[in-house]
């Protein structure tokens, strides 16, 4: 367990660190506490899975880290590799809704971050062609999202999220629409992305995904109730 007793807020090695994160929602007269004092630091080079039952706060945590929602309390500190503005260059996000643009083809959706920020386009292997090949969507390059399956749309959203090789990649159940074989395909790709020096946090309740993680952070009722690393992780703490 490392969730408690560490001053995440000043952890210089973290790509992002949060401390005392709280988020409440009003539902009629009730107040739902979606996050209840979450402290967590994420590092480059590892794939972390946020696990926990439905309603435990996974989506809320990811939305706040992605800058799409604001906490009611607590602090967020992004590391040096993250800019002041959350652009695709620093932060890739695969939302559960996928949020592909209907009027753009698969190829154009993946290229979108490059069009918005041409100076950020990294040289090297992770071209749109290479990503489509890795994620087995090359044959769909010129199709529109409405004319491909949910799983194919999801792999397109994954490719878009990693296109500019952001320091932090967030995915809300990014294998949720994949069949068994494709879960491993997407997971392997995300793991490779982490090992290339990026930080990856995805939510999942799929045992196969959890088993393939370097680190599993378990949420329950808006709190972190477990935080364990696979023994082979380079970030495993002694003891």
Judged by the rule CB under 5 A, the positions of this chain that interact with Mg ion are 58-59
Q: Are 35 and 219 in contact (CB under 8 A)?
A: no
Query: Does residue 29 bind ligand ADP (CB under 6 A)?
Result: no
**33 burial level (CB within 10 Å; 0-12, 13-18, 19+):** middle
Q: x/- site string to ligand ADP, residues 62 to 101, per CB under 6 A?
A: ----------------------------------------
Task: Determine contact, residues 35/60, Cβ cutoff 8 Å.
Answer: yes
Strands annotated E in the chain: 16-27, 30-42, 46-51, 73-78, 91-94, 168-172, 199-203, 215-220, 223-229
Q: 167 or 216, CB closer to ligand ADP? A: 216
Smallest gap, in angstroms, from Cβ of residue 36 to ligand ADP? 10
Contact window for ligand ADP (CB under 6 A) among 24-32, 72-80, 130-138, 162-170: 24-32
- Between the alpha carbon of residue 76 and those of residues 6, 18, 133, the distances in Å are 15, 4, 36
Partner from Mg ion, ligand ADP, none binding residue 55, C-beta < 5-8 Å depending on class: ligand ADP
Helix (H) or strand (E) holding 62: helix 58-65
> By CB under 6 A, is residue 59 in contact with ligand ADP?
yes
Token pair of 91 as six digits: 């932060």
Which of the ranges 39-47, 49-57, 147-155, 229-237 carries the binding residues for ligand ADP, by CB under 6 A? Answer: 49-57
Q: CB of residue 226 vs ligand ADP: minimum separation in angstroms?
A: 14
In sequence order, which residues have a C-beta less than 8 Å from that of residue 181 and are 6 or more positions away? Answer: none
Q: Smallest distance, Å, CB 64 to ligand ADP?
A: 10
Q: Which is nearer to ligand ADP, 10 or 31 (CB)?
A: 31
**Cβ proximity of 21 and 61 under 8 Å:** yes
Contact 190, 201 (CB under 8 A): no
**Of the ranges 51-59, 74-82, 101-109, 223-231, which one interacts with ligand ADP (CB under 6 A)?**
51-59
The region of 2-10, 26-34, 104-112, 144-152 touching ligand ADP under the rule CB under 6 A is 26-34
Q: With respect to ligand ADP, which residue has the nearer C-beta, 5 or 26?
A: 26
Q: H or E stretch including 195?
A: helix 180-195
Give contact residues for ligand ADP (rule: CB under 6 A).
25, 27, 32, 34, 52, 54-60
């Amino acid at each position: 367990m490392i969730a408690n007793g560490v001053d995440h807020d000043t952890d210089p090695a973290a790509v992002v660190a949060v401390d005392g994160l709280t988020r409440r929602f009003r539902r009629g007269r009730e107040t739902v506490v979606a996050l209840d004092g979450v402290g967590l630091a994420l590092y480059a080079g590892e794939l972390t899975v946020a696990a926990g039952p439905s309603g435990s706060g996974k989506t809320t945590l990811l939305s706040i880290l992605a800058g799409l929602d604001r906490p009611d309390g607590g602090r967020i500190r992004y590391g040096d590799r993250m800019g002041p503005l959350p652009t695709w260059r620093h932060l890739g996000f695969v939302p559960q809704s996928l949020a592909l643009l209907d009027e753009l083809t698969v190829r154009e959706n993946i290229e979108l971050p490059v069009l918005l920020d041409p100076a950020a386009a990294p040289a090297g292997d992770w071209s749109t062609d290479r990503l489509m090949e890795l994620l087995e969507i090359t044959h769909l390059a010129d199709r529109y999202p409405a004319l491909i399956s949910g799983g194919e749309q999801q792999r397109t959203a994954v490719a878009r999220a990693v296109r500019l090789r952001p320091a932090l990649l967030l995915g809300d159940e990014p294998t949720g629409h994949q069949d068994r074989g494709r879960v491993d395909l997407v997971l392997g790709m995300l793991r490779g992305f982490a090992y290339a020096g990026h930080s990856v946090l995805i939510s999942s309740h799929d045992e196969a995904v959890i088993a393939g993680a370097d680190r599993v952070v378990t949420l329950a009722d808006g709190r972190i109730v477990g935080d364990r690393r696979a023994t082979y992780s380079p970030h495993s703490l002694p003891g």
